Copies of this chain bind each other. A is one copy, B any other.
Amino acid sequence: MNQIKNAIGRSLPEYVEGYGKVKPFAGAFATEPDMTRQAPKVKRILPGEQKLVEDLETVFKRIPVTNGMTLSFHHHLRNGDGVVNMVLEVAAKLGIKDLTLAMSSVFPVHAPIIEHVKSGVVTRLDTNYMSGPVAQAVSRGLFPHPVVLRTHGGRGRAIECGQLKIDVAFIAAPTADDYGDLNGVQGQAACGSLGYAFPDAQYADNVVAITDNLVPYPLSPISIPQTRVDYVVKVDCIGDPKGIVSGTTKITRDPVGLRIAETTAKVIKAADLIKDGFSFQTGAGGASLAAAYYVRQMMEESGVTGSFALGGITGYMVEMLEKGLFRNLIDVQGFDLDAVRSLANNPNHLECGADFYASPFNMGAAVNKLDAVVLGATEIDTNFNVNVVTGSDGVIMGGSGGHSDAAAGAKITIVVANLLRGRLPIIMDKVLTATTPGETVDVLVTERGVAVNPRRTDLQEQFKAAGLPLKSAEELKQLAEQIAGVPESIKTLDKVVAIVEYRDGTVIDVVRQVG
């Protein structure tokens, strides 16, 4: 197979069987949209007609779900999700084959997918993130066709722009009325925002809501409207609350993590962003929250009121909203019970869809308005390309999610990482899998120093003036190698098990099978 090189020098096959022609990544903003929006068939329902259907099997027959269709799912129930497995059981029972699963994320709870692939019920997967047994099985070549890995904004884009055509969207709905109005803030499986399901509901040919909390019409608030929902199915339980939301996420106590977090806050301050209107995104992990902690100290000291915090929302961000440190939260996914409660009750806590959050192809996603984003990495190279897909053993253990989207949008994108991960350097000449291109990553903060992308000479100047411990990425790499040695490169087989699409739909890398 002929190989081509994309704009960051990754070698890609020109064509991948089961995926098609590869459109190589050409630069973070080099590829422009050249299509019209996805246009589903117009449907109607007559007054008096009912949407409530007794069970999923009946829905399958009414639609009807047939071999080769694409079924979509959102991941707000995370590792507590009961809907994917429930739907696939029905598909298997009815003898349906060759399904594509379009899941915004895959979790350990979704392990039964493996058996459905082995039996031919499922043959393709399209997702933004995966962890657990399915991810590991993908790396070992489980699927007959390569998995497509997208970003959260890229999935929204692919659905709206017609590259990811959904036959049936199954929406896990913590609360629904009998006419298909849905929200995620009420019910025993309340998960908060339903944002990742917004594009599915808007553009799928058929939309099925699955709920365990059916309430009288009309539901309020409405996150997904009746006008796009064809069927409503009431089941006993859509998910396990323990797996859906965590308790309050705690700030890390690891002293190295705290030092990195403190330096990160100093970086943001040195970039002159801690001022009224400041906007911010950070992850839900303990180290990311620690960065928020130090940023908050600075905001409080300077009496700054931020405009918004974005992304996956935690109780810590809710607290900052409630204390007046941010005017708004923009929430595509809630991580804990505080986030759910706040979205339900606070009008300044806004729910948004994946497209509004992060799509590169509309008239302006929220990531475009970000001042600063703090992101993680499993690997980063001296050109600042980041890997968040594969681990040090080459096995898939994540995915971009909103990583590439926020990196592309923010004024300053900061990757935080310990110099070593396990016993291996995190900085190298070339990451195994490129997820987020280096041109969208501005700063790397480690416990041994701060490296600035040479493209950002403005930041170099500011950071030097602020007395930050600057080093080049090469220097940090050498430091790491002095401690841990030069790691052996990972050996992979030839078979492409996953295509890593950049948010614009071009291919930034491929993942090959591990031995």
Contact = CB atoms under 8 A, between A and B. Distances in A.
B362 A44 contact: yes
A39 B39 contact: yes
Nearest to A360: B44
A229 interface: yes
Range of interface residues on A (Cβ < 8 Å) = 35 or more
Contacts of A42: 33-37, 160-161, 361-362
A180 B41 contact: no
A368 B47 contact: yes
Nearest to A344: B347
Nearest to A230: B363
A190 to B, nearest CB: 16
Contacts of A515: none
Contacts of A304: none
Contacts of A32: 44
Contacts of A408: 47
B218 A363 contact: no
A44 B230 contact: no
Contact of A51 (B228, B307, B364): B364
- The residue among A43, A307, A355 with the most chain B CB atoms within 10 A of its own CB is A43
Interface in A225-243: 225-230
A448 interface: no
A180 B365 CA distance: 11
A188 interface: no
Nearest to A310: B218
A218 B364 contact: no
A409 B51 CA distance: 16
A478 interface: no
A14 to B, nearest CB: 26
Contact of A220 (B160, B207, B350, B361): B350
A129 interface: no
A243 to B, nearest CB: 28
Given A39-B38, A355-B227, A408-B47, A364 B180 contact: yes
Nearest to A362: B227
Contact of A43 (B47, B180, B226, B362): B362
A170 interface: no
A95 interface: no
B361 A44 contact: yes
B330 A364 contact: no
Contacts of A51: 363-364
Nearest to A308: B218
A455 to B, nearest CB: 15
Interface in A176-195: 179-180
A34 B40 CA distance: 11
A194 B350 CA distance: 18
A221 B350 contact: yes
A47 B409 contact: yes
B43 A361 contact: yes
Contacts of A29: 46
A139 interface: no
Nearest to A40: B37
Nearest to A36: B39
A227 B179 contact: no
A281 interface: no
A356 to B, nearest CB: 5
A126 to B, nearest CB: 19
Interface string A317-336: 00000000001101000000
Could you say which of A35, A40, A356 has the most chain B C-beta atoms within 10 Å of its C-beta? A356
Contacts of A409: 47
Contact of A33 (B34, B43, B179, B347): B43
A369 interface: yes
B307 A365 contact: no
Interface string A7-50: 00000000000000000000001001111111111111111100
A294 B29 CA distance: 62
Given A36-B40, A220-B328, 10 more contacts: A37-B42, A42-B362, A45-B368, A46-B368, A47-B409, A179-B368, A217-B369, A225-B352, A226-B363, A227-B365
6 A-B pairs with the lowest CB-CB distances in the bound complex, closest first = A39-B39, A33-B42, A36-B39, A227-B362, A47-B368, A37-B39
8 contacts: A43-B363, A46-B368, A207-B363, A218-B330, A218-B366, A227-B359, A227-B363, A230-B363
